[in-house]
């Protein structure tokens, strides 16, 4: 198989790019891959919305820029922050033109939500189901464009790389089709990773199963520069489940902006003991305070209290959450909601330029899998959907400017049938073991523990590569291989930062997530 532009990922980043590129240059042959069905991705679960300065009377670019920089704790790239935030209104208006419906008031002005770390209400949203609305509209539009080839249930395995005069080039990927149990090559003029995050490295996560870090692992195995992998962001308010499930239900930050309280088991609003902003501090501060408070009081959850809020107003603004809580037996006017911080967003990733170019030629990265410099050490709420839109726009212009050169490349492909000699339950056990270790280490301050885990994961990786060489492959096998690789990247970055940046308490080797003890 051959394509001009190969996009791996059907979330907001991948689809936005495909649509824009197709409009700019209809002659480019675009192929877009999703690991399972195209609708399943982090994007569809986004609740809060997209941060943008849509009203210059009540808000300003400077204010959004300052909030982003403050949240990123000195590690943001200020030029990138400026570029992304100033593009935001234009990108939002394009979504509206495409048919995305955002909530508005009776005067038809956008209704803007407030979230932690934002000094103004600036979150453009569709009730508490912004991602669902976005993904639905984007996917519908994609399916209307017959020139874009959508390949669902197709697993990207590894990047195809050639070396020429000391420079690495990417010329496509190897793919695995679970249905036919077949591996083949998909060669491309240029390749874009839009493959989302890696929350599944942890036993508590808001991310769906597809967020197993495949893009980070593929790029890193190929030798791409990676950055800030230690900055895994934990969301403070995921629904606590005594029996761990593979994905935790998120309770949006916007609910705290709406007045919800975080309380301990004695009913104290303890967050004010840690930060004067209380519930409206940034999520790293809130997560850290909750983790510390839980450790001090020897509990494994705290509560979100909505009982003082008008239940009808809650249902109007947060229908998805209220419905989900009701289906799980909670009455928001009477019950406290148990919550626990959970792995939510990878701030680091494949290091890219403002045009989303990685350090490997003809390999771009956009969306969560990339590290653009916007987030620094900690992402400001609702800045990630925005980042994906802006970089999809930038890379579309960049690829379109090289279209003729890309179209003239003439690749070719091959395929073979792999074997399957590891059982799925063996692999499943390994995955659970890895996720539990990573969750425990996230709040552990011992470098020795991390080094030990790193060695252990190195052993697992070596064993898996031996199986791969013998021709093994399955969906579970690929997941374990990539989770192991991501866990190693996160631990390695944490340990190295601790050793080399000890003066910077952010980069201390104490933790590998955004959490300051």
Residue 195 binding: pick among ligand SIN, ligand FAD, none (C-beta 5-8 Å cut-off by kind): ligand FAD
* Contacted by 10, from ligand SIN, ligand FAD, none: CB < 5 to 8 Å by type: ligand FAD
* Beta carbon of residue 48, minimum distance to ligand SIN (angstroms, whole number): 3
Of the candidates 345, 303, 248, 292, which has an alpha carbon nearest to the alpha carbon of residue 515? 292
What is the distance, to the nearest Å, from the Cα of residue 78 to the centroid of all Cα atoms in its chain? 21
Of residues 359-378, those binding ligand FAD (CB under 6 A): 367-368
Residue 308, token pair as written in the block: 């003082």
Three-class secondary structure of residue 169 per DSSP: strand
Nearest to 66 by CA among 117, 18, 100, 28: 117
Our finding on whether 282 is near ligand FAD (CB under 6 A) is no
Which segment (55-63, 208-216, 301-309, 414-422) binds ligand FAD by CB under 6 A?
208-216
Of 382, 474, 484, 494, which lies in the binding site for ligand FAD, with binding defined by CB under 6 A? 382
Residue from 5, 6, 7, 12 in contact with ligand FAD (CB under 6 A): 12
Stretch that binds ligand FAD, among 136-144, 181-189, 207-215, 469-477 (CB under 6 A): 207-215
The C-alpha atoms of residue 239 and residue 97 are separated, in whole angstroms, by: 35
Q: Which is nearer to ligand SIN, 176 or 318 (CB)?
A: 318
Own/partner contacts of 462-465, CB < 8 Å, gap of 24 or more, are: none
270 interacts with, out of ligand FAD, ligand SIN, none, CB within 5 to 8 A per kind: none
The distance of Cα 352 from the centroid of its chain, to the nearest Å, equals 16
CB 66 within 8 A of CB 122: no
- Active site includes 328? no
384 contacts ligand FAD (rule: CB under 6 A): yes
Chosen residue from 6, 17, 25, 35 binding ligand FAD by CB under 6 A = 35
Please give the angle made by the CA atoms of 366, 368 and 374, to the nearest 5 degrees: 80
Helices marked H in 145-204? none
Per-residue interface string for the shown chain with ligand FAD, residues 240-269, x marking contact by CB under 6 A: ----------x-------------------
- Give the Å distances, CA to CA, from 131 to 19, 137, 162, 473, 495: 17, 10, 37, 32, 35
Token pair belonging to 223: 């030798």
Size of the site for ligand SIN (CB under 6 A): 9
> Contact between 382 and ligand SIN (CB under 6 A)?
yes
Site membership for ligand SIN, residue 305 (CB under 6 A): no
Q: Which C-beta is closer to ligand FAD: that of 142 or that of 453?
A: 142
252 binds ligand SIN (CB under 6 A): yes
Residue 8 binds what, of ligand FAD, ligand SIN, none (CB under 5 to 8 Å, by partner type)?
A: ligand FAD
| Token pair for 251 | 């309770």
What is the torsion angle, in degrees rounded to the nearest 10, for the CA atoms of residue 428, residue 431, residue 437 and residue 441?
-150
- Closest listed residue to residue 337, CA positions, set 441, 448, 231, 240: 240
Q: How far is the CB of 50 from ligand SIN (least distance, A)?
A: 9
With CB under 5 to 8 Å by kind, the binding choice for 138 among ligand FAD, ligand SIN, none is none
- Contact partner, 9, from ligand FAD, ligand SIN, none, Cβ < 5-8 Å per class: ligand FAD
Question: How many other CB atoms sit within 10 Å of the CB of residue 423?
Answer: 11
Cβ neighbours of 297 (radius 10 Å): 13
Selected catalytic residue, list 283, 379, 481, 488: 283
Which of 18, 19, 28, 46 binds ligand FAD (CB under 6 A)? It is 46
Query: CA 13, CA 368: separation in Å to the nearest integer?
Result: 8
**Distance (Å, rounded) from C-alpha 516 to C-alpha 334?**
34
Q: Which spans of this chain sit near ligand FAD (rule: CB under 6 A)? A: 8-14, 33-36, 41-43, 45-50, 130-131, 155-156, 194-196, 206-207, 210-211, 214, 250, 345, 367-368, 382-385, 388
Interface residues with ligand SIN (CB under 6 A) are 47-48, 252-254, 345, 381-382, 384
**Which positions are annotated as active-site residues?**
283
């Amino acid at each position: 198989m051959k394509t001009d532009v190969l996009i791996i990922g059907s979330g907001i980043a991948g689809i936005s790019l495909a649509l824009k590129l197709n409009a700019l240059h209809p002659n480019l042959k675009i192929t877009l891959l999703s690991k399972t069905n195209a609708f399943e991705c982090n994007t569809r679960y986004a609740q809060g919305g997209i941060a943008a300065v849509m009203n210059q009377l009540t808000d300003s670019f400077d204010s959004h820029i300052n909030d982003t920089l403050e949240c990123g704790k000195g590690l943001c790239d200020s030029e990138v922050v400026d570029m992304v935030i100033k593009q935001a209104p234009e990108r939002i208006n394009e979504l509206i033109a495409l048919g995305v419906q955002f909530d508005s008031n009776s005067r038809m002005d956008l209704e803007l939500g407030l979230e932690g770390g934002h000094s103004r209400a600036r979150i453009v949203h569709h009730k508490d189901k912004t991602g669902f609305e976005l993904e639905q509209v984007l996917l519908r539009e994609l399916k209307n464009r017959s020139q874009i080839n959508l390949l669902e249930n197709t697993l990207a395995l590894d990047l195809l790389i050639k070396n020429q005069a000391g420079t690495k080039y990417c010329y496509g990927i190897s793919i695995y089709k679970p249905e036919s149990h077949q591996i083949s090559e998909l060669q491309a003029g240029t390749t874009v990773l839009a493959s989302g995050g890696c929350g599944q490295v942890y036993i508590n996560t808001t991310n769906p199963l597809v967020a197993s870090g495949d893009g980070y692992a593929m790029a890193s195995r190929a030798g791409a520069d990676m950055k800030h992998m230690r900055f895994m962001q934990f969301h403070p308010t995921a629904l606590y489940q005594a029996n761990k499930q593979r994905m935790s239900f998120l309770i949006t930050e916007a609910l705290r902006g709406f007045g919800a309280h975080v309380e301990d088991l004695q009913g104290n609003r303890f967050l004010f003991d840690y930060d004067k902003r209380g519930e409206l501090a940034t999520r790293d501060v809130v997560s850290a305070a909750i983790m510390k408070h839980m450790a001090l009081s020897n509990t494994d959850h705290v509560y979100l209290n909505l009982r003082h809020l008008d239940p009808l107003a809650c249902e109007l603004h947060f229908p998805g959450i209220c419905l989900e809580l009701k289906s799980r037996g909670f009455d928001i006017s009477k019950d406290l909601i148990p919550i626990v911080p959970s792995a939510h967003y990878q701030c680091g990733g494949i290091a890219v330029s403002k045009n989303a170019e990685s350090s490997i030629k003809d390999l771009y990265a956009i969306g969560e899998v990339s590290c653009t410099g916007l987030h620094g050490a900690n992402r400001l709420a609702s800045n990630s959907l925005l980042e994906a839109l802006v970089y999809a726009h930038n890379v579309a212009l960049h690829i379109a400017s090289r279209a003729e050169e890309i179209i003239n490349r003439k690749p070719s492909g091959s395929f073979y049938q792999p074997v399957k000699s590891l059982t799925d339950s063996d692999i499943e056990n390994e995955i659970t073991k890895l996720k539990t270790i990573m969750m425990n280490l996230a709040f552990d301050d011992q470098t020795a523990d991390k080094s030990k885990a790193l060695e252990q994961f190195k052993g697992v990786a070596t064993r898996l590569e031996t199986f791969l060489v013998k021709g093994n492959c399955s969906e579970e096998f690929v997941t374990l291989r990539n989770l192991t690789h991501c866990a190693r990247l996160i631990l390695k970055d944490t340990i190295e930062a601790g050793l080399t940046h000890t003066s910077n308490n952010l980069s201390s080797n104490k933790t590998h997530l955004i959490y300051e003890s």
